[in-house]
Amino acid sequence: MTVDFERKDLMKALATLSIEKVLLKMGRPVLEKVSNKLQKEYKCYIPDCYDHPEYLENVIKSLYGNAHRTILDEIKDELVEYLDDGGIRILVKTITG
């Protein structure tokens, strides 16, 4: 049980860092917009997107329209080597359809 819990925490942190890295690469305002909209609409933060990837997908789609695909694909590329983790696999599948 402890090992699974630690692994989940580790994967959640990894997902958070990957999402933030992609958004920051596009500029701090992009990260701030996404974070603010997650808080406003879902009362959550970027780490919560590991358990609720649909929140991330919805926020990025609503903010960036057709450009959302590029952003979500970049997040997927950051996480692709960790698809052995169920949570990461669900996150990637959810955000990339």
97 confidence band (pLDDT: 50, 70, 90): confident
CATH of the domain at 71: 1.10.1200.200
- Give the span between the Cα atoms of 86 and 8, in whole angstroms: 9
Model confidence at 35: pLDDT above 90:
yes
Q: DSSP state, 80?
A: G
Long-range contacts of 30-37 (CB under 8 A, 24+ apart): 33/63, 34/59, 34/60, 34/63, 37/62, 37/63
pLDDT in tens, 2-32: 667 799 999 999 999 999 999 999 999 999 9
- Give the span between the Cα atoms of 33 and 6, in whole angstroms: 30
pLDDT at 5: 76
pTM: 0.92
Q: DSSP state, 47?
A: G
End-to-end CA, the chain: 31
- Give the span between the Cα atoms of 32 and 29, in whole angstroms: 5
Q: Give the structural domain span for 81.
A: 2-96
Q: How many independent structural domains does the chain possess?
A: 1
